[in-house]
Amino acid sequence: MTVNNVRSHLFQSQVAKRQLDCIGTCKDGQWLILEDPLTKEKKEIYDAISGAAVGSLKHGDKEILSQLSSFALESAYTFCTNYSNKAAEDLAAFMCSKSNGSFDSAMFVCSGSEANENAMKYIKQYHLERNEPKRFKFISRKNAYHGYLIGALSIGDNPKKPLLKNILLSDEQTPKISRLYPYRDMKDGMTEEEYTKQLLENLEDTFIKNDPSTVAAVVMETVCGSALGTTTPPKGYLDGARAISHKYGALFMLDEVMCGLGRTGFPYAFMDPNFGLSTGGPDILSFGKTIGSGFVSLSGVLLSSKMVRTIEEGSGVAIGYQTYHSHHLNCRVGLAVQQKLHEGNLIENVRIVGEYLKDGLKKQLKGCKVYGEVRGAGNFLSVELVKNNVTKEFFPPEMRMSAVLYKKTFHKGAHFMCVSGCAGYEVKNGKVIEYGDHLTMAPAFGFSKDDADFIIKVIKETFFEIEEEYL
C-alpha cells in the first residue's frame, strides 16, 4: 500500500504527504485496519508495537469504552491550583499502592516528555528546599531517549538531538555517562560483574569531573527504549548507580515512560529481580504510555517519601502547574485501565508469554547471519540486525536497513518499530548519520502464544530474506 498525490494539511511525519489512515481495529483488537485515502484499499495489520509501546490493553477494549460516557459525565474541568478531584486522588493512591512503599505521591500530565521535564523541576525544588541552590546538573546516559521537548531532549542523547543542539541545555548542565549496550560494549571474556564495575566507575568519574556539589540528579531509563532497543542493565548496576548518586547528595531518577507499569512483566520495571533494584525504589520516577493505553493522553511522576517530606516541611507547595494537570477524565480512564491490568493478571501474562516469545525468537533466528541478538524483558523486546554476526558489523547507513525491516514486516502483516542509530550517530555536512539497526516490539499485555508465534514467524522470514538478498 502506498499513498500518492494526496496532500495533507496535518503537520506530522512527512510534511504535506498523506499517510495511510487507520480507520479502526478488527479481530481481537490487536489488529489495525489501514486504508489508502486515495484508492480506499484496505489492509489489516497486527500491531506488534501497540503504537509506540502505548497499548497495554488491546485496541477497542469494550470494558473501557463502555465506561467512557459515564466517566465523562462525572468530569468537570478544574485547574489544579484551586481544586483536586477524586479521579486523580484515587489514581495516585493506586499507583503508590503498587510500588511496595517506594512512592508516596504522584502527579499527572499528558505526555512522557512533560513528565520528565516536571520531574526535573521537582528535583531542582528538592535541592532548593534543602538550601542547595547550586545543584543544577543532570547526569544521564549516551544513546538514551527521554522525550522530544527541550529539557527532555537535553538529558537524552540520540539522533533526534544534534540538529537542535544550540537551543538545548548546555553540555555543562547535562553531562553524559556511558551508554548501556552490553551487546557491543561487553568485551570478549568480560563478566557481567566486570561490566557493571566499568559502568559504575564511569558514573563516579563523571560526578568527580563535574563538581559533585552541583549535580542535582542522575537520570536513566530502567530498560532503554527506542534509542538502543530495549537493553537491560547488568545485575547490580541500578543499585550501584543509586548508591553513587546518594553518596554525592544527588537524587536518583528512573524514566519508565516506555518500559514501566507492567511492560517488562512487573508493576514497575525496577522490580525485575534479574536486573532491578534489590531493595526499595528510585527517588523519583516518570511514567506514561501504558497508563492510559492510548485511550487518553496521560503520564506522570511518582515521588518518594524522602522528596515529599522535604518539600512538605519546606515551602509545602509544588513548583509548576499545567492546564491539564491531573485532568479528571484522563485520570479516571487511567485508573480503569490500571485496575483491569492488575485484576486480570495481564502483567503476569506479559512475563509468561514474553519469555515464550523471547526464547522462540532466539531459537528460530539461530544460524541467521544477519541476526545480532534478541534482548529486552517482558514483551518489550528487540532484535538487532547486523551485516556480520561474528564481527557485529552493521550495515552501511546509506542502505537504510531499518526501512527495509519495516517494509518487509509490514508486507507480512505486522507493525513494528524499526529504528536506526542504536550503534551510534554522527553529524557530517549538516546531516545526521545513524549506525546500526534494530526492530522493537511491545504488543498488548493480553497477547497470546499464538500471537507470539505469528511475531516469530514474521521476524524469522524477514531476517532470513535479508540474509539472502543483502549479503
Residue with cell 479516571: 332
Q: Classify domain 68-343 at the CATH class level.
A: alpha beta
What are the boundaries of each domain within the chain?
68-343, 345-470
> 106 pLDDT band (50/70/90 cuts)?
very high
Closest CA to 38 of 13, 7, 1, 3: 3
CA distance 36 to 38: 5
Q: What is the pLDDT of residues 109-135, one digit of tens each?
A: 999 999 999 999 999 999 999 999 999
Task: Give residue 319's pLDDT.
Answer: 87
Q: Is the pLDDT of residue 349 over 90?
A: yes
CA distance 372 to 437: 10
Strands (E), 239-293: 251-256, 284-287
CA distance 441 to 462: 14
Q: Is the pLDDT of residue 466 over 90?
A: yes
Q: What is the pLDDT of residues 372-406, one digit of tens each?
A: 999 999 999 999 999 999 999 999 999 999 999 99
CA distance 145 to 375: 17
What is the four-CA torsion angle of 10, 11, 16, 22, rounded to 10 degrees? -50
Task: Give residue 304's pLDDT.
Answer: 98
CA distance 351 to 30: 18
Task: Give residue 10's pLDDT.
Answer: 84
Residue with cell 553513587: 244
State the sign of the Cα–Cα–Cα–Cα dihedral 192, 236, 283, 137. negative
Determine the residue type at 384. E
Strands (E), 200-268: 215-221, 251-256
Task: Give residue 4's pLDDT.
Answer: 62
Coil, strand or helix: which one is 176? Answer: strand
Q: What is the CATH number of domain 345-470?
A: 3.90.1150.10
Task: Give residue 17's pLDDT.
Answer: 82
Q: Which residues pair with 376 in a beta bridge?
A: 381
